Each structure stands twice: as structure tokens, then as C-alpha cells.
Amino acid sequence: MQKITPFLWFDGQAEEAAKFYTSVFRNSKLGGVSPMAASFELEGLEFTALNGGPRFKFTEAISLYVNCETQDEVDYYWDRLGDGGQIQQCGWLKDRFGISWQVIPSVLPTLLSSPEQEKAGRAMQAMMQMQKIDIAALQKAYDG
């Protein structure tokens, strides 16, 4: 059993959310489901979804970060997680349940933390203009 498990509070959609997330992530599985809660695993990380009622809502203060190796992977997660949700800036979106996700290519932190400040700045400016991250456009901006 993992030491820390994300615990997500839903207003009656715990099972629906668990089934949705396990349909999006290839390395996933649905665990136990009851009227009050559902458990599921995504990419080796266990989650619990609770039907807690309308008292609490999700905010951007907590987000789930999806590290993507390719543009195809960025596109896949962006399209699937964003379906029925709300598209935001710089690789962020809210899914249809209100959970915030960052769909980020693994190259982005490398470009933004480059010791070549001018190149890193160009990559940052390019990213700030994007909703879904475009790896080729980032690399082009970085290279000048």
C-alpha cells in the first residue's frame, strides 16, 4: 500500500469519475466501488474518490501533472481530459468534474530552466501564448 493516497471529493460522481479516468490512462485499473466511494489506480498511483456531496469544490490550488514524452501524448491527454471540461492557458485544463490537470511535455522544464536565459525567455514567452503546449513551437521559439 502506498504511503500517501490522493483523496478526491465529488458531489455524487465518484464512480463515474473513476471509470472516466481509468478509461483515459492506459496503465490503470478500477478498484472497489460502493455508493459512497470508488478506488482506482492511474499509472501506479492509487486514488480514492468519495461521494461527499456539494460542500467542497475542486480549485486550481491542487492539480494533477501529466508528464508527456511526445506531442501525440500531449494531444491524447489534452483531448481526452479536456472533453466536456474547460481549457485554460499554459497546458492547464479542468476536466468535466472540475479537477485541474497540467498536460506538459517533458521537454518544457528543460527549456525553461536552460542556463541560456535568452533562449529560456523565448520558450517562456511562447508557452504563455499557448493553451495546449505545442512542442515544435516551443523548440522553434527556444532556438530563435
CA-based R_g, the chain, Å:
17
pLDDT tens digits for 36-70?
999 999 999 999 999 999 999 999 999 999 999 99
Give the number of other Cβ atoms within 10 Å of residue 40's Cβ: 25
**Entry pTM:** 0.94
**Residue 97: alpha-carbon gap to chain centroid:** 12
Domain boundaries, the chain: 1-57, 58-144
The three cell numbers locating residue 2? 502506498
Query: What is the DSSP secondary structure assignment for residue 48, as one 8-state letter?
Result: E
Report pLDDT for 1.
77
What tens digit of pLDDT does each residue of 130-142 get?
A: 999 999 999 999 9
Q: In CATH, what is the architecture of 1-57?
A: Roll (3.10)
Q: Is 113 helix (H, G, I), strand (E, B) or coil?
A: coil
Same fold, 1-57 and 58-144: yes
DSSP-based three-state secondary structure for 78: helix
58-144 has CATH 3.10.180.10 classification: yes
Residue 81 cell numbers, joined? 481530459
Whether the predicted pLDDT of 24 surpasses 80: yes
pLDDT of 120: 98
pLDDT in tens, 64-106: 999 999 999 999 999 999 999 999 999 999 999 999 999 999 9
Q: What pLDDT is attached to residue 10?
A: 98
Q: Are 27 and 42 in contact (CB under 8 A)?
A: yes
Query: pLDDT value at position 33?
Result: 97
